[in-house]
Amino acid sequence: MRQMAENRVKQDLREEKTQELEDRGGVSAPLSLSQHIVLVGIRNAGKSSLLNTLFEKEVAIVSSQPGTTTDPVLRKMELKPLGPVAFVDTAGVDDEGELGKARVHKTYQRLENASIVLFVTPIDQPPKQAEKKLVRFLKGSGKPYLGVLTFADRQPHVEKLDWLKTEGILTTVRVDNRNQKGGKEVREALARLASSIVPEPTPLDGLVKAGDTVLLVVPIDSAAPKGRLILPQVETIRDALDRNCSVVVSKESELDDTYRNLRERPKVVITDSQVFRKVASILPLDQPLTSFSILFARKKGELDPYLASLPILDRFPSGGRVLILEACSHHRQPDDIGTVKIPRLLRERVHPNTVVEHARSPEGIDLSQYSLIIHCAACMLTRQAMLARLYRFQQLGVPVLNYGLFLAWANGLLPRALEPLPEYQISYARYFIARSLAPLPSV
């Protein structure tokens, strides 16, 4: 059974990877735009059975053997009024041994990225120490959560009910997974929590209004996926159409003719950051211009941490280390932006002795050893996940930029690239203050 469960987990991870690739091509609602609902509790609490109950079919392996779910298992659903959601089944928070500790750590990582948490607990058992620790974490996180009492066909344990009342967990749903009863009630309770979730902003929030023209500059280079546009471009086009704007798309090689042939001036031009300099040289100086990556810096996080980090580029130490973080896997080309273009610009514009390293995730890395982190646009992460990363960087005191902000700076396009943003004046003023006050960083 253990081997069977492990094989299923591997299949789940393959399916999640396939889903990520489909999302990047715009085939389905991207995981990065889905609300993540994390199922968490002790081993054998009935989390995987609850997942089957919610979907009214078998989508997760169920076993009475503790530790069947070894890695997070993800399944997607459309749940009104939440829209696209991703249910994440996790390993038990009371898992044991060295491998068990790693699984518990992974579970808590998923909780940090959750929009809503389903705290799954057996109604017929007294509270375990791992559950008490978990509830303390949930109450401190500020995330909306719902208590799901499983094994509702059994006699409730008085100590469990008293503990839930003492902890203030008054909103609960009882579920009988054996007979698949209670799934509808859980879905309805989740729908009622929709108003407590702050929605992720869209790329064009505050930039345009109905009737405006938006010009997108989309290079088709060796890194462009064959036959598809990348996710930030797709999301921006859809957002413009939802706002009743006209959308014009051009390659940078055709931009001069495209721009001159427009009947009206675009409200904003949005370009891929890699061709920032060329695009800026073609457009009039008073044409509002920004990049997809800068729009995603505010969509997936907040601009202030990035702007507060810009002064490090003017005072970078010799031998300083830079970590370039990318949130997705892709086949790297000879002119790859993260491994080739940005490192070259760092050594040309920042310091020739800059040490550049790369990673897909910050997990397991001593981030305090870096003078700067440069993050990708994070289009494959949820806003919750990116905010958690930014908070971690800030706690460690490590400056962080994203691709768009760095490339705008390297090409001499600040503050121009920020001017279309409604929060530009306050945010950029903070940069100038930080630039004048920032001390020389240590290596």
Please name each of the domains of the chain with its CATH number: 2-196 (3.40.50.300), 213-293 (3.40.50.11420)
Tens of pLDDT along 143-173?
A: 899 999 999 999 999 999 999 999 999 889 9
Between the two ends of the chain, the Cα-to-Cα distance in Å is 50
| CA dist list (Å): 175 to 146, 149, 153, 184, 186 | 12, 6, 8, 10, 8
pLDDT value of residue 424: 74
Buried/exposed 413-431: b ≥16 CB within 10 Å, e otherwise: bbbbbbbbbeebeebbeeb
Q: Which two tokens mark 216? A: 């997108």
pLDDT band for position 41 (cuts 50, 70, 90): very high
Task: Tell me if residue 111 falls in helix, strand or coil.
Answer: helix
Which residue reads 């503990």 in tokens?
Answer: 163
- 407 and 273 in contact (C-beta within 8 Å)? yes
Give the C-alpha separation, 39 to 383, whole Å.
Answer: 19
Using one digit for the tens of pLDDT, what is the confidence trace for 260-291? 999 999 999 999 999 999 999 999 999 999 99
Residues in the chain: 443
Tell me, what's the pLDDT at 144?
A: 92
The DSSP-derived string for 61-97 is: ---SSTT---S-EEEEEEETTTEEEEEEE---TT--H
